Amino acid sequence: SDRINVAIDGPAGAGKSTVARKVAEQLGYVYIDTGAMYRAVTLAANRAGIDPGEQDRLKELVEVLNIRLAPGENGQMVFLNEEDVTSEIRSRDVTQHVSQVASHESVRIRLVELQRQLAAARGIVMDGRDIGTHVLPDAELKIFLTASVHIRALRRYQELKDRTGVSLEQLEAEIAGRDLSDEQREISPLVCAKDAIRIDSSELTIEQVVALIQELGRTKL
């Protein structure tokens, strides 16, 4: 097949999902948001009263969970045992616990298996933290998308500000905290793959980043 796989990794709030969705749209590829899967597991754990540190109960939980991604009108939809949880997985409660849930090996093994199945057909744009390093080491194009913590918090703040009372400082601290746990965890930490192209989006618009990735993609097609 002449279709390639594109891996887009990077820290929270760097614009990965928006960029990945647009790149997929323009290539006619399927977009897969792996963060949404870790969020779905976290939501299921919260509902079941499982603490993000309870390794054994989390292992049992992921074994019976059914997580399904499907394209929707406003981006990717997420189903947990066939219930639409697309918006609920974006809650602050889930956001605050997801990194700890994602640090467990049993959770990662299960979700990575699912991610590899989804990518087997190729023609996939997948975003996450460990896609280029671990999930799809053979992806033809690997991007590591970053931006300064301040810029990332500011963008999130502008998205959220009318809906929550959270301050910019608070968001900055939360993002920095999530970066740290994602970078320092033992299994598949957030790190730039050796063969990934690093793009700092601090001073770029979404459109500019998308155009840049498309240009890079053309050289691989």
Per-residue HEC secondary structure of the chain comes to CCCCEEEEECCCCCCHHHHHHHHHHHHCCEEEEHHHHHHHHHHHHHHCCCCCCCHHHHHHHHHHCCEEEEEECCEEEEEECCEECCCHHHCHHHHHHHHHHCCCHHHHHHHHHHHHHHHCCCCEEEEECCHHHHHCCCCCEEEEEECCHHHHHHHHHHHHCCCCCCCHHHHHHHHHHHHHHHHHCCCCCCCCCCCCEEEECCCCCHHHHHHHHHHHHHCCC
Asked if residue 130 binds ligand C5P (CB under 6 A), the reply is yes
Residue 182 sits in the site that holds ligand C5P (CB under 6 A): yes
Closest CB to ligand C5P among 3 and 90? 90
Total residues at the site for ligand C5P (CB under 6 A)? 14
Among positions 35, 160, 166, 216, the unique one binding ligand C5P when judged by CB under 6 A: 35
Q: Is 165 annotated as a binding residue?
A: no
Q: Which stretch binds ligand C5P (CB under 6 A): 63-71, 124-132, 165-173, 194-202?
A: 124-132
Our finding on whether 128 is near ligand C5P (CB under 6 A) is: yes
99 binds ligand C5P (CB under 6 A): yes
- Residue of 34, 76, 86, 133 interacting with ligand C5P (CB under 6 A): 34
Nearer to ligand C5P, 27 or 89 (CB): 89
Residue 175 contacts ligand C5P per CB under 6 A: no
Give binding residues for ATP as ranges: 10-18
Binding site for ligand C5P (CB under 6 A): 12, 34-35, 38-39, 98-99, 102, 128-131, 178, 182
